[in-house]
Chains A and B, each alone.
Chain A
Amino acid sequence: MRIALFATCIVDAMYPETAKSTVKILERLGHEVVFPKAQACCGQMHINSGYMSEALPVVENHINAFDTDDYDVAVAPSGSCVASVKHQHPRLAERLGKPELKERAVAVGKRTYELSQLLVDVLGITDAAQQLGSYFPDTITYHPSCHGMRSLQLGDRQLDLLKTVGGINVEILPEADQCCGFGGTFSIKNADVSSAMLEDKVKNICSTGASACAGGDASCLMHIGGGLSRTGAKPKTLHLADILASTMEETVTL
């Protein structure tokens, strides 16, 4: 399959290793990965902050970049950005009275998958160790990000993949389904409430004794990681893609 990588702006700029890991996993399975260079961002920050007119050029750019026949499916290592592409883009086009853009947005959304969705639903991965050679000999816990869990209904796809990584020990996170408090500009507009939510997430992560908290969204992980770092807590954060890409020969280090 020819798979277009939607790196997402935060991974592109801040966590390039996660995008590289995504490429590695897909290439390991024998697929060809392309990176449409016109891509930038899904526009979620603008939409969720209410800046709809400012979101429009960002959304249009994404649709123009991915509305091509150059690939079979698109994948992003983010539940939140994929949920934005699938749900928010058509809604924004409708709000701004652009029916043609809406149609194209729906078409792009249909071909866009979150990483675990693609791996499990399309590529049939049920055992990461066997099928991907994934190996990570450490204890992790896992935070299911809200948009993946609720907007995309990912269920246990990410957790199940992690559990089948070679050498791994997965400790269940207490109150896992509670938001970490990120919420985009919520984290600065309502910094106090956001921090209070983060504090509980950090406590719960520390209570598992894990070396790292894994997740499927770099933005939430940056938020959680920022809180862990500030409190001097031991656990690090690690993206699902980085754990899946880790092998016995090339093991990712924290």
Chain B
Amino acid sequence: MTQVFLGMPAPGHGNLFEEEPFPQAAHRELGNTQMRKNLRHATHTIRDKRLKVVGELPDWDDLRDSGSAIKNNAMANIEELLLQFEKNFTARGGIVHWARDASEANKIVTELVKATGSTEVVKVKSMATQEIGLNEHLETEGIEAFETDLAELIVQLGHDKPSHILVPAIHKNRTQVRDIFLKEMPGVDPTLTDEPAKLAEAARSHLRKKFLASKVAISGANFALADTGTLGVVESEGNGRMCLTLPETLITVMGIEKVLPQWEDLEVFMQLLPRSSTGERMNPYTSLWTGVTEDDGPQNVHIVLLDNGRTRALSDRFGRTALNCIRCSACMNVCPVYERTGGHAYGSTYPGPIGAILSPLMTGIEAEDNGSLPYASSLCGACYDACPVKINIPEILVHLRGEDVDAKRDTHKLPTQMDLLMKGGSWALGKGKNIGLLEKALPLGRLMAGKNKKIKKLPGIAAGWTQSRDVPAPPNKSFRDWWSDEKESK
């Protein structure tokens, strides 16, 4: 069942799979009351901040439309834009590598690092490298990767997995962070308290040595601009800036969908992204680099352009807008399911509503390991409302459920209870007279309910309902019958 184990790099797609069916993982995570408390506090805080700064912009909805249109256009012309980017990035001294999947990307990065002779790299927070399981792969090759983003560092030191794309350690509170530092951080002050400033200070002195010593940095990228060959990273802490400027070699791993046509497009995305992700008007550090500048910054600049299922997602006409995602994480911050289960329940590097569509779109729904993700939503639509590029996540979830059901039609030897329910329902609800016929049996339901007029236990899959809800006794007569008797007979 399990495709990817924590710490074990998978071939092919990398960390894009459920590790177990969502309902099962959710059941376990729901029992973690400390995590639920941490998550509720954190998601509600970011939610409120986002609403406040978004409310400041009278043209917010127009900006979302612009963001969506720019992305749709970029995805429609992705081949041209990538080639244009390659040309401009190369012309300015950068080297472009193309990777079909996670394995290829890991191999390319490993060879590049080995060529420098270095056995250590510092890392800028990056979703793409989490996706391909780069750190774990490098470890097997004898190369140690140090995460420099504070939250990624917490996750790495704690031998844990990120549970959020913006705030990877959102499931931990500061006391838990202090405990991880005390246990795992070399040379840490044993009297360390859980004051945020003290924790940041501890991380700072731990990381500073790494920044100054490392010859190689690995980053992701938020944007690639085709017209200039420029890459961009948006961050809060400045650790990324240090990785991007201090080492001699800089290797960037970026999903191909990050390409934008032109420099001017940043105007839109630099308004959308910080407000949607951290709830700030502007993030503290935005680093943009274009190839190599002589005697200034890294002199060996590489980019690995990663497909890993993105072209597959692009070929799905009902699902492709998921590639418009700018990884702001607003959808998970507002999601009532994510808030309660946390990110680990989704298995994939991409949790929450966007992960529930992106992961199966990239791997293919018939890779049965991602079949339960599209159902991990009540379809409340809060994610669509919050999305800065208007990805209609609920619509794509429903689309993928359809793909999942169709894929399983061929593999199920015997129909499941749900199959039978849906087939029966299709007959019953497919004609007025059929539902009318069934409604004649409503008094039977009343018998089931008994004296207190409540049904407390239902059989089969319907038992899921009665685990926490009663069913009221049905009426004696349907509306349909009442209408016939009272309205039509008069």
Interface residue ranges, A against B (CB under 8 Å): 7, 9, 11-17, 19-20, 35-41, 43, 45-52, 54-55, 57-58, 60-61, 65, 88, 91, 95, 146-147, 150-151, 177-179, 181-199, 222-223, 225-227, 229-230
From B341, B454, B468, B487, contact of A198 by CB (8 A): B468
Residues of A within 8 A of B429 (CB): 9, 40-41, 43, 45-46, 58, 61
From B318, B337, B374, contact of A95 by CB (8 A): B318
Complex: chain B residue closest to A227, CB-CB: B469
A49 and B479 form a contact (CB under 8 A): no
Q: Which of B96-123 contact A (CB under 8 A)?
A: none
A229 and B404 form a contact (CB under 8 A): no
Q: What are 26 of the A-B contact pairs (CB < 8 Å)? A: A12-B435, A13-B478, A14-B475, A16-B477, A16-B478, A35-B487, A40-B429, A47-B402, A49-B401, A49-B422, A50-B374, A50-B401, A52-B402, A60-B430, A150-B385, A151-B381, A187-B464, A189-B375, A190-B337, A194-B468, A198-B469, A222-B472, A225-B472, A227-B469, A230-B456, A230-B470
The complex places the Cα of A50 from the Cα of B377 at a distance, in Å, of 13
B431 and A38 form a contact (CB under 8 A): yes
Residues of A within 8 A of B395 (CB): 91
Q: 9 nearest interchain CB pairs?
A: A226-B469, A183-B378, A50-B401, A188-B464, A191-B464, A179-B380, A41-B429, A16-B479, A150-B381
Total number of B residues with any Cβ neighbor in A under 8 Å? 69
A195 and B468 form a contact (CB under 8 A): yes
Given contacts A48-B379, A183-B379, A190-B376, contact A40 B336 (CB under 8 A): no
Min C-beta distance of B450 to chain A, whole Å = 14
From B385, B432, B467, contact of A61 by CB (8 A): B432
The complex places the Cα of A39 from the Cα of B483 at a distance, in Å, of 13
Given contacts A178-B336, A193-B341, contact A48 B479 (CB under 8 A): no
Residues of B within 8 A of A222 (CB): 471-472
The complex places the Cα of A13 from the Cα of B337 at a distance, in Å, of 30
The complex places the Cα of A150 from the Cα of B380 at a distance, in Å, of 8
Residues of B within 8 A of A199 (CB): 468
The complex places the Cα of A54 from the Cα of B434 at a distance, in Å, of 15
Q: Which of B417-451 contact A (CB under 8 A)?
A: 418, 422-423, 425-432, 434-436, 438-439, 442
Binary A-proximity of B344-380 (CB < 8 A = 1, otherwise 0): 0000000000000000000000000000001111111
B482 CB within 8 Å of chain A: yes
Counting chain A CB atoms within 10 Å of each CB, the highest count among B380, B428, B475 belongs to: B380
Min C-beta distance of A48 to chain B, whole Å = 6
B479 and A57 form a contact (CB under 8 A): no
Min C-beta distance of B206 to chain A, whole Å = 37
Min C-beta distance of A91 to chain B, whole Å = 7
Complex: chain A residue closest to B417, CB-CB: A188
The complex places the Cα of A67 from the Cα of B56 at a distance, in Å, of 44
Residues of B within 8 A of A20 (CB): 479, 482
4 more CB-based (< 8 A) A-B contacts, given A52-B406, A179-B336: A192-B26, A193-B30, A198-B469, A226-B472
Min C-beta distance of A236 to chain B, whole Å = 10
B340 CB within 8 Å of chain A: yes
B211 CB within 8 Å of chain A: no
Residues of A within 8 A of B380 (CB): 146, 150, 179, 183
Min C-beta distance of A198 to chain B, whole Å = 6
Residues of B within 8 A of A49 (CB): 401, 405, 418, 422
Residues of A within 8 A of B375 (CB): 186, 189-190
Interface residue ranges, B against A (CB under 8 Å): 22-23, 26-27, 30, 318, 336-337, 340-341, 374-382, 384-385, 395, 398-406, 418, 422-423, 425-432, 434-436, 438-439, 442, 454, 456, 461-462, 464-465, 467-472, 474-475, 477-480, 482-483, 487
Residues of A within 8 A of B487 (CB): 35
Residues of A within 8 A of B482 (CB): 16, 20
Given contacts A54-B425, A191-B467, contact A197 B478 (CB under 8 A): no
The complex places the Cα of A146 from the Cα of B480 at a distance, in Å, of 27
Min C-beta distance of A219 to chain B, whole Å = 12
The complex places the Cα of A35 from the Cα of B482 at a distance, in Å, of 11
The complex places the Cα of A226 from the Cα of B468 at a distance, in Å, of 8
Given contacts A12-B480, A16-B475, A61-B430, contact A54 B376 (CB under 8 A): no
The complex places the Cα of A19 from the Cα of B468 at a distance, in Å, of 27
Residues of A within 8 A of B426 (CB): 46, 51, 54-55, 57-58
Residues of B within 8 A of A151 (CB): 381
The complex places the Cα of A199 from the Cα of B40 at a distance, in Å, of 14
Min C-beta distance of B408 to chain A, whole Å = 9
The complex places the Cα of A7 from the Cα of B435 at a distance, in Å, of 13
Residues of A within 8 A of B318 (CB): 95
The complex places the Cα of A17 from the Cα of B380 at a distance, in Å, of 27
Residues of B within 8 A of A57 (CB): 426-427, 430
The complex places the Cα of A55 from the Cα of B376 at a distance, in Å, of 21
The complex places the Cα of A183 from the Cα of B471 at a distance, in Å, of 16
A196 and B30 form a contact (CB under 8 A): yes
From B30, B341, B379, B422, contact of A46 by CB (8 A): B422
Residues of A within 8 A of B422 (CB): 46, 49, 51, 54
The complex places the Cα of A196 from the Cα of B345 at a distance, in Å, of 15
Residues of A within 8 A of B398 (CB): 47-48, 50, 88
A7 and B378 form a contact (CB under 8 A): no
The complex places the Cα of A36 from the Cα of B461 at a distance, in Å, of 33
Residues of A within 8 A of B471 (CB): 222, 226
From B23, B382, B435, contact of A9 by CB (8 A): B435
Min C-beta distance of B421 to chain A, whole Å = 9
Given contacts A11-B479, A37-B432, contact A230 B418 (CB under 8 A): no
A65 and B470 form a contact (CB under 8 A): no
The complex places the Cα of A185 from the Cα of B377 at a distance, in Å, of 10
Min C-beta distance of A165 to chain B, whole Å = 23
Min C-beta distance of A99 to chain B, whole Å = 15
Given contacts A183-B377, A183-B380, contact A191 B431 (CB under 8 A): no
Complex: chain A residue closest to B365, CB-CB: A50
